[in-house]
Amino acid sequence: MCNGSSQPMKKQLRVLAALLLFTFFCASAHAANKPDSLSVKIGQMLMIGFRGLSVAEAPQISADIRERDIGGVVLFDYDVPSHTPLRNISSPEQLARLTLELQKITKIPLLIAIDQEGGKVNRLKPTRGFPPSLSAAHLGELNNADSTRAAALQCARTLKAMHISLNLAPVADLNVNADNPVIGKLGRSFSADPAIVISNSTLTCQAYREEGIIPTLKHFPGHGSSTTDTHLDFTDITASWSEKELEPYGALIAAGYRDPIMTAHVFNGKLDPLYPATLSKAMLDGMLRGKLGFEGVIVSDDMQMKAIADRYGLETAIQLAIEAGVDMLLFGNNTSYDPEIASKATAIIRSLLQKKIITEERIDRSYRRIMELKKRYHIDQT
């Protein structure tokens, strides 16, 4: 009897051992991919631009989402490097399909971002089936609460219908230099008067939030007085900038603003004798977080813009930005195009960690801010 019953028992033990081994591997795989793992935390710090009107046309961004867990993407209507009029947007129907496709392939829902300021900085153009928009300069001249609110609500509802969660607007720069090639001449500032910028930025942010759209104030600590374009060259505002340009940020933060703020690549020797704002610990950690008390997500302006890319290697720029306090590194891939940029950035951040130049605790702080933002806007439930 003993010999006869040992065979079924051995078989049961083998099955049990196999089940335990399978459970172990499943648990290991889950641990490797759990939401708070280091790879996910690094990925969440990246916002990447790409080419393609559908996921099928964009295998690299699909890999970045699936394998590198990037935290966001940024959309454009025009591809600058190739001078091609179709990038990510051809019609409302196509764009809504693209954004839904992107969310379907991610484990942690994406921040899907766009620069829909209105006026000349306008990715959703009427020629492609979207509603017309008004510039900040026009709204600032009217300085009418109903007009600003109506424009912001129309924008927010359009973005919501397209499943876009984050607008890289409003511009909080003061129109100090009306001949500024990248702000004043493009009508991107509400006014040279801080009070008008504050009131119109506040109304715009409120309208966005009502529709579940995340606003982003930009470009800290102020780009309005510059005479050159950070897309194209080093931009020094040391002589032209004044503390008045901080007033919109100070006022909104004091009133409870905790949505993202985007940095400027401007250099201001009075505030930091070495680095432009995006790479400046004095300006971001010291002034924005310390002096002004900002606790939200700091997003870099495009790290491939020439004010950064032509003067700093990619590794140095990423290191300095993280050390300065940037939470989300934006690579628009639309000044230059590098399909491997997310892989390169991920490898650089891992290397900085291995060399103990930056710490896991620093990465964790950014990750927690990004996830808090997503949860607050229910992006985690998309």
**All residues at 6 or more sequence positions from 280 whose CB lies less than 8 Å from its CB, including other chains:** 271, 272, 274, 324
Confidence class for position 230, pLDDT limits 50, 70, 90 = low
177: domain range?
39-381
DSSP, collapsed to helix, strand or coil, labels residue 256 as coil
The band of 20, judged by pLDDT with boundaries at 50, 70 and 90, is very low
Distance CA 53, CA 50 (A): 10
Which amino acid is it at 132?
P
d(CA 78, CA 240): 32
Does the pLDDT at position 30 exceed 90?
Answer: no
Per-residue confidence (pLDDT) for residue 310, from 0 to 100: 82
Q: How high does pLDDT run on average in the chain?
A: 91
Query: What pLDDT was estimated at residue 235?
Result: 82
Residue 199 lies in a domain: yes
pLDDT tens per residue, range 299-321: 999 999 877 878 888 999 999 99
pLDDT in tens, 127-142: 999 999 999 999 999 9
Give residue 161's pLDDT. 98
Residue 277's pLDDT is what?
95
What's the CA gap between 36 and 32, in Å, rounded? 9
3-class DSSP state of 207 = helix
For 238-249, what is the mean pLDDT? 96
pTM of the model as a whole: 0.89
Give pLDDT, residue 113.
Answer: 98
pLDDT at residue 7 in the model: 54
Are residues 238 and 268 in contact, defined by beta-carbon separation less than 8 angstroms?
A: yes
The verdict on residue 7 lying in a domain is no
Q: What confidence score (pLDDT) does residue 177 get?
A: 92
How would residue 25 be classed by pLDDT, with cut points 50, 70 and 90?
Answer: very low
Name the pLDDT band for 5 (thresholds 50, 70, 90).
very low
The single-letter DSSP state of residue 282 is I
Given a contact cutoff of 8 angstroms between Cβ atoms, the answer to whether 195 and 201 are in contact is no
Per-residue confidence (pLDDT) for residue 198, from 0 to 100: 98
- Tens digit of each residue's pLDDT (9 = 90 or more) over 142-197: 999 999 999 999 999 999 999 999 999 999 999 999 999 899 999 999 999 999 99
Q: Is a pLDDT exceeding 60 seen at residue 23?
A: no
CA–CA separation, 91 and 343 (whole Å): 30
Give me the pLDDT at residue 21, please. 44
Q: Which DSSP string do the residues of 129-178 spell out, in sequence order?
A: TPPP---HHHHHHHT-HHHHHHHHHHHHHHHHHTT--EE---B------T
Split at pLDDT 50, 70, 90, the class of 344 is: very high
Predicted local confidence at residue 305, as pLDDT: 85
**In this structure, what CATH number is given to the domain that contains residue 322?**
3.20.20.300
**Per-residue pLDDT reduced to its tens digit, 49-92:** 999 999 999 999 999 999 999 999 999 999 999 999 999 999 99
Let me know: does 237 contact 183? Beta carbons within 8 Å.
no
CA dihedral over 345, 347, 348, 350, signed as positive or negative:
positive
Residue 314 lies in a domain: yes
Residue 20 belongs to a domain: no
Quote the number of domains for the chain.
1
> Residue 296: inside a domain, yes or no?
yes
Please choose, from the candidates 257, 330, 341, 266, the residue with its C-alpha nearest in 3D space to the C-alpha of residue 299. 330
Q: Write down the pLDDT at residue 308.
A: 83
User: What is each CA distance from 367 to 24, 88, 108, 336, in whole angstroms?
Assistant: 28, 27, 12, 27
In a domain, 24, yes or no: no
* Burial class of residue 258 (count of CB atoms within 10 Å of its CB; 0-12, 13-18, 19+): middle
> Does some domain include residue 160?
yes
Query: So what's the pLDDT on residue 4?
Result: 44
Residue 21, domain member (yes or no): no
> Which positions are annotated as active-site residues?
231, 301
pLDDT of amino acid 14: 57
pLDDT at 13 > cutoff 90:
no
- Give the strand order in the sheet containing 111-114: 166-167, 111-114, 72-75, 46-49, 329-331
